[in-house]
Structure 1
Amino acid sequence: MTYILVPIIIALVIMVVVSLVRGIVAFLKSTKMDLERDSGASATEMQLMQNKMMFARIKYQAAAVVVVAVLLAASR
Structure 2
Amino acid sequence: MTTFLVILLVAAMIATVVALVRGIVTFLQERTEEVKGNGPSAGALKSNRMMQMRIFFQAAAIMIVVLILVLAKGT
TM-score (norm 2): 0.90
Please list every run of 5 or more consecutive structure 1 residues that lacks an aligned counterpart in the other structure. Answer: none
Structure-1 separation of matches of 2:21 and 2:42:
17
User: Which whole-Å deviations, capped at 9, do the CAs of 1:14-70 have from their partners, x for residues lacking one?
Assistant: 0000000100111111113234x3x1x321011101110010000000000000000
| Structure 2 unmatched ranges of 5 or more | none
Percent of aligned positions that are identical: 38
- The aligned length equals 73
Q: Could you say which residue in structure 1 is the equivalent of 2:22?
A: 22
Q: Does 1:32 align with 2:29?
A: no
Q: Which of structure 1's runs of 4+ aligned residues deviate more than 2 A?
A: 32-35
Alignment match, 2:58? 61
CA distance in 2, matches of 1:63, 1:72: 14
Compute the RMSD of aligned alpha carbons. Answer: 1.1
- Aligned-partner Cα distance in 1 for 2:52–2:27: 14
Which structure is higher in RCO with an 8 Å CA cutoff and minimum separation 6?
1
